[in-house]
Amino acid sequence: MSGVSKIAIVTGGGTGVGRAIARALGAAGYTVVISGRRADVLEKAAAELGKETGADYLAVTADVGDPVSVRGLFDTVSEKYGRLDLLVNNAGINVPNVPIEEQSFEDWNAIVAANLTGAFLCSQQAFRLMKAQTPQGGRIINNGSISASTPRPNTAPYTATKHAITGLTKSAALDGRNFDIACGQIDIGNAASDMTTKISKGVLQANGTLAAEATIDPAHVADAVVYMASLPLNANVLTMTVMATKMPFVGRG
C-alpha cells in the first residue's frame, strides 16, 4: 500500500483471530486500532504487533455491547485520524453448549450483546463516519462464522446471532451502496484460537458422537480479510468461507 496509511478498526483485536487480522492488516500497510474490553491485553498486543510489523497500532478499550463505549471508540478514531477506511467486526463470545430449554436468559442476553448488538453499534458508527468523511466511503467486514449457515448441536444463542450477522451484512451492503460503503462477511471454520481449543480434542457431532476436528492457522483467515480489504470500493466480497478442509461441514454426518 502506497501513500498515507489507511485506518482500520479491528474489534476483539487483542487475541485469537482478531489479533491475526490486526497483524496482517498492519503488515499490509494499515494503521490499526484494536479494541476490546481488557486494556492490559490490548496494550501488550499493540506493542508486540508494532514490533512485528513496523506498523502503527492504537489500543482503545471498548465494550461493543455498550453504545456509549462504542461511540467513544469511534470518536477517538475520528479525532486522531480524521477518517476510517475499514471496520472489522470480529468481537464475539460463546456460551456453554446446552440444550435450548436449559439455556439461561442471562447467557442469551450476553451473547446477543457481544455478537450481534456489538456489530450493529460499530457498523452504525462506521456509517456515520464514512458518510461524513472526504473522500466518502469505506469498508466493513463482519465475522460471520460457519454458524451463520449451519449450527452445531446445542448452540441456539450463538447460531442465532451469527445467522443475524448475515442479515446485518446484507442490509449494510445495500444501505451503503450510494455512499461507497462496501460490506462483506467472512465465515470462518475452525480457525485455531482459545475459543476452538476443544474442537481439536473432541466436540459433539450432529449424530451424537464426539469427534476431534481439523483446525487451521488463523493467519489464513487474516490473509483472506486483507484480500477483501484490498479491493476498490466498487468491488465487494459479499461472503467468503475459509475453513479447515477436513472439518465435518460439507456433506452429511
The grid coordinates listed for 51 are 514490533
The grid coordinates listed for 11 are 474489534
- Give the three-class secondary structure for 213: coil
Would you report the helix, strand and coil content of the chain in percent, each value rounded to 5?
A: 45, 20, 35
- The answer to whether 64 and 121 are in contact (CB under 8 A) is yes
Burial grade of 228 (CB within 10 A; 0-12, 13-18, 19 or more): buried
- The answer to whether 9 and 86 are in contact (CB under 8 A) is yes
- The answer to whether 5 and 26 are in contact (CB under 8 A) is no
Residue of 30, 57, 81, 158 marked active site: 158
Which residue has 451484512 as its cell numbers? 169
Provide the CA 89 distance to its chain's centre, in angstroms.
4
Known catalytic residue at 30 = no
> What residues act catalytically?
158
